[in-house]
Amino acid sequence: MRLIVLTLFIFFSNISLTQTDSIFIRKIYDMALEDGHAYENLRSLCKDIGARITGSAEAKMAINWGRELLESYDFDHVYLQEIKVPHWERGTTEAAWIINEEGKVVKLNILALGGSVGTSGLIEGEVVKVESIQELEKMSEDEVAGKIVFFNRPFDQKMISTFKAYGACVDQRWGGTNAAAILNAKGVVIRSMASSHDDHPHTGSMHYEKGVAPIPGAAISTNDANRLEKWLETGSVHLKMEMDCRFYPDQISHNVIAEMMGGEDDRIITFGGHLDSWDVGEGAHDDGAGIVHAIEALRILKELGYQPNHTLRCVLFMNEENGNFGGKSYAEIAAENKEEHICAIETDRGGFLPMGFDVVGSADQLAFIRGIVGDLKAYDLLKFNPGYGGVDIGPLLKYYPAMIQLGLNVNSQRYFDYHHSEADVFESVNKRELELGAAAMAAMIYLVDQNL
């Protein structure tokens, strides 16, 4: 008889706990959708501050914006974490043209890749088309020297996940210019890392190996890449381009941090996005949306009177786009301070419809996450699978290999229409989808804090 009573007690206790979670998560969603701040905060970040490339005046203003906004919500602690960051500037607007054998000239839509050197005036070269770095490396220096290499591998449209399609071709943006420089090419242009066909070039980071004489690298729009590809089918094409980009000395910058202190212990759950963006568009999806997701999640939990078990730390990381010194420095400082980090959650995939969370961890940790998220199914959060956490939180794994990392998973189909381009503006973000993302973050933070 006592065993039956004990079993019934456990059964009803578990139902009560689930009902408590369900009620609180419902409150989270109600506040996000009826009394949310995310959309207005994003408007302010995009319109009042603008694009926020690391080292720029706009990046400094964004740090002030973030600190003042977090302080206005009266969290337990708000502070700046000093970091050193690179400072690259685009300079004057890039210009480029292609000329075919008949003398026809077409102006291209072009953006320097982040970290590229300038051209030191107008340069010209015959275009050599390749589909991959591997194809280029099989060519002789005589075939490449003095020419402009055109990397033309597009997104694989058969891939359902556009993030996987991006991953399958982004190596040509990151390493293509360096590979061409080794063969003494004059410059590089790449097909933009985009799933759509339009006139917006998409920038992004690239690098040079030590000892390699740098050459300029740029992205052209997908429409221009299609045009250049067709021209090359009928004869030789020359390309002229001019860029004025350059590096300046490193600068001191900051991560912006807000905390709600835990009631049971000082173990830390970190969550956030990156405050910097590229210098075109307004950085609305990448990663203004993630910034306001994270701020809104902490605001909602505080407004609902939630008392966390662990320290909840919202981090607005600086310099994800061209160095990740915000994420690297945050992890190093955490280890130096002997902090105990148990979970980190990143939102850096745009303000689109949330679908779940990617999980970085062991099989037991994946099972744990799947075991606590049943209440989220009512909000169409259904995908909790092994995947990727995020660039900013990734360095924490070096010091805390046993922690769980989560990445907000969204519907990715339109993300690369905007990513790293002038199209990434506030108007491209859907208010309701943005608010649902903020609610998903708050609910996930709550469940992890309650159960970990």
Over residues 243-296, the pLDDT tens digits come to 999 999 999 999 999 999 999 899 999 999 999 999 999 999 999 999 999 999
Rg (CA), the chain: 24
- Residue 18 confidence class, pLDDT cut points 50, 70, 90: low
Residue 2 lies in a domain: no
Q: Are residues 337 and 377 in the same domain?
A: yes
DSSP state of 20: H
**CATH number of the domain bearing residue 78:** 3.40.630.10
- pLDDT (tens digit per residue) in 297-335: 999 999 999 999 999 999 999 999 999 999 999 999 999
Residue indicated by tokens 């039956």: 4
Q: Are residues 257 and 237 in the same domain?
A: no
Residue 11 lies in a domain: no
Q: Give the domain-ending residue among 244, 275, 308.
A: 244
DSSP symbols for 290-317: HHHHHHHHHHHHHHTT---SSEEEEEEE
Would strands 187-191 and 105-107 be described as parallel, antiparallel, or unpaired? unpaired
DSSP symbols for 118-185: --SS-EEEEEEEES-HHHHHTS-HHHHTTSEEEE-PPP-TT-S-HHHHHHHHTHHHHHHHHHHHHTT-
Q: Are residues 67 and 136 in the same domain?
A: no
Q: Are residues 379 and 274 in the same domain?
A: yes
Q: How many domains are there within the chain?
A: 2
- For the question of whether the overall pTM of this predicted structure is more than 0.75, the answer is yes
Q: Are residues 267 and 415 in the same domain?
A: yes
Residue 221 lies in a domain: yes
Residue 113 CA to its chain's centroid (Å): 16
Reading the block at residue 304, the tokens are 């609902």
Q: Give the domain-ending residue among 192, 215, 244.
A: 244
Name the residue range of residue 56's domain. Answer: 22-88+249-451
Burial class (CB in 10 A: 0-12, 13-18, 19+), 364: exposed
Q: Are residues 71 and 107 in the same domain?
A: no
Average confidence score pLDDT of the chain = 95
Do residues 286 and 349 make contact, with C-beta atoms less than 8 angstroms apart?
Answer: no
Q: Are residues 138 and 171 in the same domain?
A: yes
Burial class (CB in 10 A: 0-12, 13-18, 19+), 60: middle
